[in-house]
Amino acid sequence: MRKLILLLIFISAFLINTTGCELKFSISGEPKEVYKAGDEVIIEIQMTLTHRVCEIELSQSKFSFEGLKVLGATPWKEVHQGTYIRQVKIQLADDNKSEAKLSLTRKCSKEGGFCEIVLNK
Please, how many CA atoms are within 13 Å of residue 70, restricted to the half-sphere of its CB?
Answer: 13
pLDDT in tens, 3-47: 555 444 555 444 444 456 889 999 998 999 999 999 999 999 999
Spatial distance between the Cα atoms of 75 and 119, rounded to a whole number of angstroms: 23
Q: What is the mean pLDDT of residues 64-93?
A: 95
Average pLDDT, the chain: 84
What does the pLDDT read at residue 7? Answer: 44
Q: Which amino acid is at 119?
A: L
Over range 63-85, report the average pLDDT: 94
Residue 88: name the closest of 78, 107, 106, 101 by CA. 101
DSSP strand pairing (113-120 vs 83-92): unpaired
Q: Report the C-alpha gap between 37 and 40 in whole angstroms.
A: 9
